[in-house]
C-alpha cells in the first residue's frame, strides 16, 4: 500500500484514482485552485460530479489549500492537469517535491524550441526543480487510448507508461496495472509524448471529414457517408506521426500502436476535438469555430501552434522537404494561419 496523490480533479486525473484505489493504495485527490466546486461535492457526497460516479474506496479529497498536507509522504504523484495547466503546475509542484518521489503526467502536448527541438512536459517539469533534488525525482507519463469515464467505469483499457528508464517505467506500470487497466512500460518517453500529442492534431482532420459531409448535404440518397475520406485522413495522420517519430529518433512503431493509431481511434469516436474539426470541415473559419466552442479546452490548437514553429525549423535544417507532412501543413494553415480549409488529398501517401 503506497501513499499516492493526484493533483487536478479533472476527468483524466480523477479517473486515475480508480486503478490506484483498486490496488489498495491510499489515494489523495487534490483539486487545483479551479476545482473548488468539484472537491466540495466530493467531500460532501463522495461523488465526483465531472465523472458522474461515486469515488472508490481509499480516496480522500483535498482543496488546493490543503495540498501540502495531502502530499506529505506520497510516493507517487499524478500530475493531472491539461496542457493549459502545465504552466501552473510548473510553478506549484517543484518546490513541493521531495527526493524519491515519482511524478506521472497525463498531459497531452509538446513545446517547440526555436531550433526545432521538441520539449515534453515531464522534462519541462523536471527542469523547473531545484538543483538539489532534480536528479532525485523521477518523471514519467501515461498516454494512449483512454477515455477517462471508461477507466473510472473499470472498462478494459490499454495504455503506455513511459519513463526515462525501463526500470522506472516497469515499476510504475506494476503500480497502476489492474484486471482492467493495462499499462505497457516503455523507456521512449519522448516518443510516447509526441505520439499522443500529434494524434490530437490529426483527430481534428478526421472530424473535418464529417463536417465536409454535412456541408455537402449529409448522407446521400444511396446512403453514402464520408468514411472513406475520414479513413484517408486517419491513415495520413498515422503516416505523418510515423514520419515525425522517425525524424526525432523515436520509436516509429508507436504510429501503429497505442500512442498513434489506437489513440487516434479513440479520440475520433467523439469529443471536443472531433466537434471542432467538424465545424472547420463545415466551412467555418478558425475564428468562427473557436467562438462556437469558446468554453472548451482545445489542446489541438496549442499542439498545432507548436508544430507551426517546428516545421520551418525542420525545413531550415533540411530534416523535411516541401512535400513532407502535407496534412499537418493543411491543419496549420487552417487553425494557426486562419486560412480556409484545403485538404490536399493528391499530395497524400
Which spans in 118-225 are helix H?
Answer: 121-127, 131-134, 148-152, 166-176, 189-215
Contact 268, 274 (CB under 8 A): yes
Question: 33-49: string of b/e by CB count within 10 Å (b at 16+)?
Answer: eebeebbebbeeeeebe
- Residue 178 as a binder of a second copy (CB under 8 A): the answer is no
Contact residue for a second copy among 98, 128, 133, 158 (CB under 8 A) = 158
234-263 residues in contact with a second copy (CB under 8 A) are 234-236, 238-239, 241-242, 253, 255-258, 260-263
Contact 263, 197 (CB under 8 A): no
Contact 110, 299 (CB under 8 A): no
Residue with cell 495522420: 237
Nearer to a second copy by C-beta: 22 or 111?
Answer: 22
Site string for a second copy, 304-343 (x = CB under 8 A): ----------------------------------------
Piece in contact with a second copy (CB under 8 A), picked from 125-133, 147-155, 315-323, 327-335: 147-155
Instruction: For residue 187, give the nearest of 159, 157, 167, 158 by alpha carbon.
Output: 167
Instruction: For residue 133, give the nearest of 89, 87, 168, 101 by alpha carbon.
Output: 101
Site string for a second copy, 260-279 (x = CB under 8 A): xxxxxxx-xxx---------
Nearer to a second copy by C-beta: 182 or 276?
Answer: 182
Site string for a second copy, 97-136 (x = CB under 8 A): ----------------------------------------
37-56 residues in contact with a second copy (CB under 8 A) are 51-53
**Sheet hosting strand 157-163, strand order edge to edge:** 59-62, 26-30, 3-7, 76-79, 102-105, 138-143, 157-163, 181-186
**Angle of CA points 325, 331, 334, to nearest 5°:** 140
Number of residues that bind a second copy (CB under 8 A): 58
Query: Minimum distance between the CB of residue 192 and a second copy, rounded to whole angstroms?
Result: 12
Contact residue for a second copy among 65, 117, 165, 225 (CB under 8 A) = 225
Nearer to a second copy by C-beta: 88 or 180?
Answer: 180
How far, rounded to the nearest angstrom, does the alpha carbon of residue 135 sit from its chain's CA centroid? 25
Instruction: For residue 34, give the nearest of 96, 101, 81, 98 by alpha carbon.
Output: 81
Backbone angles phi, psi at 6, to 5 degrees: -125, 125
Nearer to a second copy by C-beta: 125 or 161?
Answer: 161
Determine how many CB atoms are found less than 10 A away from the CB of residue 222: 5
Nearer to a second copy by C-beta: 127 or 269?
Answer: 269
Site string for a second copy, 182-221 (x = CB under 8 A): x-x-----------------------------------xx
Site string for a second copy, 62-91 (x = CB under 8 A): ------------------------------
- 299: which DSSP letter? H
Piece in contact with a second copy (CB under 8 A), picked from 29-37, 230-238, 275-283, 293-301: 230-238
Contact residue for a second copy among 4, 157, 203, 306 (CB under 8 A) = 157
| 31: Cα within 13 Å, side-chain hemisphere | 19
- List interacting residues with a second copy (CB under 8 A): 51-53, 144-147, 149-153, 155-158, 160, 182, 184, 220-232, 234-236, 238-239, 241-242, 253, 255-258, 260-266, 268-270, 345-346, 348-349
Amino acid at each position: 500500500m503506497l501513499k499516492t496523490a493526484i493533483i487536478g480533479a479533472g476527468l483524466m486525473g480523477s479517473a486515475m484514482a480508480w486503478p490506484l484505489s483498486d490496488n489498495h493504495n491510499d489515494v489523495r485527490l487534490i483539486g487545483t485552485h479551479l476545482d473548488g466546486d468539484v472537491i466540495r461535492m466530493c467531500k460532501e457526497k463522495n461523488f465526483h460530479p465531472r465523472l458522474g460516479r461515486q469515488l472508490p474506496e481509499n480516496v480522500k479529497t483535498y482543496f488546493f489549500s490543503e495540498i501540502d498536507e495531502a502530499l506529505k509522504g506520497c510516493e507517487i504523484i499524478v500530475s493531472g492537469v491539461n496542457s493549459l495547466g502545465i504552466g501552473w503546475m510548473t510553478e506549484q509542484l517543484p518546490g513541493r517535491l521531495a527526493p524519491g518521489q515519482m511524478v506521472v503526467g497525463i498531459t497531452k502536448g509538446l513545446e517547440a524550441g526555436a531550433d526545432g527541438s521538441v520539449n515534453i512536459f515531464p522534462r519541462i517539469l523536471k527542469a523547473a526543480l531545484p538543483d538539489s533534488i532534480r536528479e532525485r525525482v523521477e518523471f514519467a507519463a501515461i498516454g494512449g487510448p483512454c477515455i477517462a469515464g471508461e477507466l473510472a467505469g473499470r472498462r478494459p483499457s490499454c495504455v503506455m507508461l513511459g519513463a526515462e528508464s525501463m526500470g522506472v517505467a516497469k515499476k510504475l506500470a506494476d503500480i497502476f496495472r489492474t484486471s482492467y487497466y493495462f499499462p505497457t512500460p516503455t523507456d521512449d518517453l519522448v516518443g510516447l509524448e509526441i505520439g499522443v500529442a500529434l494524434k490530437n492534431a490529426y483527430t481534428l482532420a478526421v472530424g473535418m471529414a464529417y463536417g465536409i459531409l454535412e456541408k455537402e448535404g449529409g448522407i446521400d440518397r444511396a446512403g453514402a457517408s464520408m468514411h472513406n475520406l475520414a479513413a484517408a485522413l486517419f491513415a495520413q495522420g498515422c503516416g505523418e506521426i510515423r514520419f515525425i517519430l522517425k525524424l526525432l529518433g523515436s520509436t516509429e512503431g508507436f504510429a501503429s500502436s497505442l500512442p498513434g493509431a489506437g489513440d487516434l481511434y479513440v479520440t475520433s469516436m467523439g469529443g471536443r476535438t472531433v466537434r471542432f474539426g467538424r465545424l472547420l470541415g463545415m466551412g467555418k473559419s478558425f475564428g468562427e469555430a473557436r467562438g462556437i466552442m469558446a468554453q472548451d479546452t482545445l489542446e489541438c490548437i496549442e499542439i498545432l501552434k507548436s508544430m507551426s514553429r517546428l516545421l520551418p525549423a525542420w525545413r531550415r535544417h533540411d530534416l523535411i522537404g516541401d512535400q513532407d507532412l502535407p496534412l499537418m501543413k493543411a491543419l496549420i494553415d487552417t487553425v494557426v494561419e486562419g486560412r480556409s480549409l484545403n485538404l490536399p488529398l493528391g499530395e497524400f501517401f
